């Protein structure tokens, strides 16, 4: 038995449960995880949407740090809208730590007649984002914690592929051309 394991056996449990640092990567959402059973909002605060119940079959959840932010508006979401493989992704949802009104207005800038069927959902209290372990501290930029940029391919309520930006806000691994192959 290694020395560290031997120490864990003799130390009280409350001491072993507390960690001050980690040498492993953060435990973001993983392949096989279920979509959290948490309400989001669409269009108005009273219109609740629960992706764990909505996503039957194939789906795509695109997470962005902020509606109307430059990278989100100029490249990330347009990349999906203009990708011919989007239709085969199933139901598509864009989620941001914003209120329902902001997400409705942002969605209307991309798709005023809702031809694409993409739904723009607010996560105003970041509970959905936190349940996925995808929040990051961004008060100096956005005023509060926000979502890392990500794309989740989902099948029957479970994550099939997780594409999470390692720097939180870049547009690389979560870009449409890398997700919708």
Among 62, 72, 97, 134, the active-site one is 72
The CA-based angle 160-100-93, given to 5 degrees, is: 20
Given 3-state DSSP classes, what are the helix, strand and coil percentages for the chain, each rounded to the nearest 5? 35, 25, 40
65 tagged catalytic = no
Closest-CA residue to 103 (of 128, 116, 120):
120
Structure-block tokens of residue 43: 């269009």
Is 58 strand, coil or helix? strand
Residues 6+ apart with CB under 8 A from 136: 145, 146, 147, 148, 168
Tell me 180's DSSP state: -
Active site amino acids: 72
């Amino acid at each position: 038995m290694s020395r560290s394991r031997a120490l864990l056996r003799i130390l009280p449990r409350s001491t072993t449960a507390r960690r001050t640092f980690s040498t492993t990567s953060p435990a973001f959402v993983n392949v096989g995880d279920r979509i959290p059973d948490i309400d989001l909002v669409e269009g108005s605060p009273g219109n609740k949407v629960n992706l764990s119940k909505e996503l039957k079959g194939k789906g795509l959840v695109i997470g962005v740090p902020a509606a109307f932010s430059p990278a989100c508006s100029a490249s990330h979401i347009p990349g999906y809208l203009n990708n011919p493989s989007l239709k085969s992704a199933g139901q598509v949802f864009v989620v941001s730590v914003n209120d329902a009104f902001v997400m409705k207005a942002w969605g209307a800038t991309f798709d005023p007649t809702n031809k694409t069927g993409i739904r723009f959902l607010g996560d105003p209290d970041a509970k959905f984002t936190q349940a996925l372990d995808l929040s990051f501290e961004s008060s100096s930029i956005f005023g509060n914690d926000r979502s890392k940029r990500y794309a989740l391919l989902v099948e029957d309520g479970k994550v099939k592929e997780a594409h999470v930006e390692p720097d939180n806000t870049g547009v690389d691994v979560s870009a449409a051309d890398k997700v919708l192959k």
